[in-house]
Amino acid sequence: MTEDLGPLRQAMADLSEYGGTADMYERALHKSRQSQRRTALTTAAAAAALVFAIGGTVAFATRHQPDPLTPPASTPTGDGLQHPGCPSTQALGTLVELPTGWSFASRAVECAQTWAAAGVERPDADAVIYLFHYTAGTGWRFHDQGNGWDCKKDLDLTEPASFCTS
């Protein structure tokens, strides 16, 4: 059982002389740097997408928000009286979106102190009143819809108005 391994050893030594060594270190460094570049690129792309998404949402929200209306000096109402700051039907129409088929009545807006009421006609029902309130700094805003309000209790009005029930 004695075998002569000399020629085999010589052949292996010759092969190792020409084959060189496997350079695992350089390949590991290359893969590590490639992974770092991919991670940085992915993170930057995700951050840019987030910035655009937030910016787009803010731009859309501010674009579709109605601007506060500044009341005109005075607007005549249907009964011929002058109410300082009473808005027009067109101005109030920019504050609300009426359902299909609904429209503001042809009569003028009635104002009492910081309140304005406009009639709204509906095709299948009786007319309803839209009530708006004016606040300094924010302007006119939609408040409620109905057929009448208690002026003293609900609106804190000291003067009579046709949209009040008492």
Cβ atoms of 161 and 86 closer than 8 Å? no
Residue 163 in any domain: the answer is no
Q: Are residues 84 and 129 in the same domain?
A: yes
Give yes or no: residues 151 and 78 share one domain: yes
Give percent of the chain with pLDDT exceeding 70: 83
Burial classification of residue 133, based on how many CB atoms lie within 10 Å of its CB (0-12 exposed, 13-18 middle, 19 or more buried): middle
What's the mean per-residue pLDDT of the chain? Answer: 78
pTM of structure: 0.47
Query: Model confidence at 70, in pLDDT bands (50, 70, 90)?
Result: very low
Residue 111 domain flag: yes
Structural domain contains residue 166? no
Residues 44 and 115 both lie in one domain: no
Domain membership of residue 43 (yes or no) is yes
In the prediction, which pLDDT does 151 show?
Answer: 81
| Residue 87 counted as domain residue | yes
33, part of any domain: yes
> Is the model more confident about 81 or about 96?
96
State residue 34's pLDDT score: 93
Domain that holds residue 47: 7-63
Positions of E strands within the chain: 74-76, 82-84, 103-104, 110-112, 115-122, 125-135, 139-146
Q: Do residues 98 and 148 share a domain?
A: yes
118 inside domain = yes
Q: Are residues 125 and 78 in the same domain?
A: yes
Stronger pLDDT, 8 or 17, i.e. the higher one: 8
Tell me: do 22 and 44 sit in the same domain. Answer: yes
CA dist 87 and 76 (Å) reads 10
Residues 104 and 143 grouped into a single domain: yes
Report which of 89, 95, 92, 163 is spatially closest to residue 129, judged by C-alpha positions.
163
Query: In this model, does residue 42 exceed pLDDT 90?
Result: yes
* Overall domain count for the chain: 2
Taking the C-alpha atoms of residue 1 and residue 119, their distance in angstroms, rounded to an integer, is: 116
- The residue type of 4 is D
Please tell me whether residues 58 and 81 are part of one structural domain. no
Q: Are residues 53 and 121 in the same domain?
A: no
Q: Does the residue 134 lie in any domain?
A: yes
